[in-house]
Chains A and B, each alone.
Chain A
Amino acid sequence: DGGITQSPKYLFRKEGQNVTLSCEQNLNHDAMYWYRQDPGQGLRLIYYSQIVNDFQKGDIAEGYSVSREKKESFPLTVTSAQKNPTAFYLCASSTDRAYSEAFFGQGTRLTVV
């Protein structure tokens, strides 16, 4: 089955700790994205990558880092510099064709304890 797999589904982070969220896709998509969703809010773009070994900051990149060493994988690290990391994180991917739609993973719910 083709799709986007995010793990873990739930993640708990202590204050001052870095954590990494995994996103893997087997859709052969070139572009991948990370979004953050807060309760009652829309999604906000954190980072995106249009091609391997390249990525761009989105609207709320501060306190986050990413890598894109493989086409299939786009992990997101939430660093200790992110002051309010508790949120629902969604990874998405799309082809590089113009106007292609994005497909989303099942999400990771991160909670600071």
Chain B
Amino acid sequence: ELKVEQNPLFLSMQEGKNYTIYCNYSTTSDRLYWYRQDPGKSLESLFVLLSNGAVKQEGRLMASLDTKARLSTLHITAAVHDLSATYFCAVGDSGGGADGLTFGKGTHLIIQP
């Protein structure tokens, strides 16, 4: 059974600081996704990571994937208040089939001025 663990689950940080969210998963997978959720809203796709060593960046967010370590990271650079949200990683079974994703519990990120 595929299990996905995120840490930390809650993070309060100040604007301008850097931090990293970690996503570990338990079985072999070749696809990992990062989503953002604002309170009471749906999920917005941030990154799709499909190969070992993949790194993607969008603005102040950068995501990476190490399939050998079964680890993905989401790094926040010089945080701003607008990045306050809950961030989820989600992992699919190997083979890329359309059979649903397993989600972590999410990291609730609060960025204070």
Q: Which residues of A contact B (CB under 8 A)?
A: 30-31, 33, 35, 40-45, 48, 50, 56, 58, 90, 94-96, 98-107, 109
Residue on B nearest A91 in the bound complex, by CB: B42
Shortest distance from the beta carbon of A17 to any chain B beta carbon, whole Å: 24
A104 interface neighbour in B43, B50, B95, Cβ under 8 Å? B43
Contacts of B88 in A (CB 8 A): 42-43
* Chain A: minimal CB distance from B22 (Å): 15
B99 at the interface (CB under 8 A from A): yes
Out of A30, A41, A96, A99, which one reaches B31, CB within 8 Å?
A99
A–B Cβ pairs within 8 angstroms, 13 of them: A41-B105, A42-B88, A42-B103, A42-B105, A42-B106, A43-B103, A44-B103, A45-B102, A90-B43, A98-B96, A99-B92, A101-B33, A104-B43
Question: Which residues of A lie under 8 Å from residue B90 when comparing CB positions?
Answer: 43
Interface secondary structure of B, over-half rule: loop
Given contacts A50-B98, A96-B98, contact A101 B42 (CB under 8 A): no
Do A48 and B105 form a contact, CB below 8 Å, given A42-B88, A90-B42, A101-B33? no
Task: Give Cα distance in the complex from A106 to B40, angstroms.
Answer: 9
Cα–Cα distance between A103 and B98 once the two chains are bound (Å): 12
CA distance A41 to B86 in the complex (A): 10
B48 engages A99 (CB within 8 Å): yes
B100 touches A48 (CB 8 A): yes
A42 touches B104 (CB 8 A): yes
Please give, as numbers and ranges, the residues of chain B lying within 8 Å of A101 by CB-CB distance.
33, 45, 48
